[in-house]
């Protein structure tokens, strides 16, 4: 396996665990991309270049997408209020709604209504 593939796999595995840790409360907040790069023992620039080369998008694209996927799961599988889901994901509720709508085209409430 090429080094770029190892870095890409490590990045996605790290994201999955880190997002789960934030949701469970084991991590206090989402890490910055440079902190993730440090945890993976690569530079921020190398991580960014590698993910863009192997996956076609900036690493933040996938990070944000995984956060939205976690939010969708909570909106679908729980009756938690949107503000509580925002807090679990360490967002201010109004910022979370804007972020979710920017990523999906729907507010969290509209998404929840559409899947029920």
Percent of the chain whose pLDDT exceeds 70: 100
Task: Identify the sign of the CA torsion 61, 64, 66, 71.
Answer: negative
Q: What is the pTM of this model?
A: 0.93
Own/partner pairs, 17-20, CB within 8 angstroms, 24+ separation: 19/66, 19/67, 19/70
Q: How far apart are CA 18 and CA 50, in angstroms?
A: 20
Q: With 90 as the cut, is the pLDDT of residue 116 above it?
A: no
Q: How confident is the model at residue 53 (pLDDT cuts 50, 70, 90)?
A: very high
| CATH number for position 40 | 1.10.10.60
Structural domain boundaries enclosing 52:
3-115
Mean of pLDDT values over 9-15: 98
Our count of domains for the chain comes to 1
Q: How far apart are CA 22 and CA 62, in angstroms?
A: 16
Q: With 90 as the cut, is the pLDDT of residue 106 above it?
A: yes
Residue 81's closest CA among 69, 65, 97, 64? 97
Mean of pLDDT values over 98-115: 97
Q: What is the pLDDT of residues 61-83, one digit of tens each?
A: 999 999 999 999 999 999 999 99
Q: What is the pLDDT of residues 78-101, one digit of tens each?
A: 999 999 999 999 999 999 999 999
Question: For residue 54, what are the contacts with CB-CB under 8 A and spacing of at least 6?
Answer: 4, 5, 7, 8
């Amino acid at each position: 396996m090429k080094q770029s593939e190892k870095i890409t796999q490590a990045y996605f595995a790290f994201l999955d665990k880190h997002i789960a840790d934030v949701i469970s409360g084991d991590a206090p907040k989402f890490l910055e991309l440079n902190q993730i790069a440090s945890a993976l023992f690569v530079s921020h620039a190398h991580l960014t270049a590698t993910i863009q080369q192997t996956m076609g998008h900036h690493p933040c694209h996938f990070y944000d997408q995984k956060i939205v996927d976690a939010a969708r799961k909570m909106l679908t599988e729980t009756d938690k209020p949107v503000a509580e889901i925002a807090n679990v994901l360490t967002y201010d509720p109004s910022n979370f709604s804007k972020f979710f709508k920017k990523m999906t085209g729907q507010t969290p409430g509209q998404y929840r209504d559409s899947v029920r």
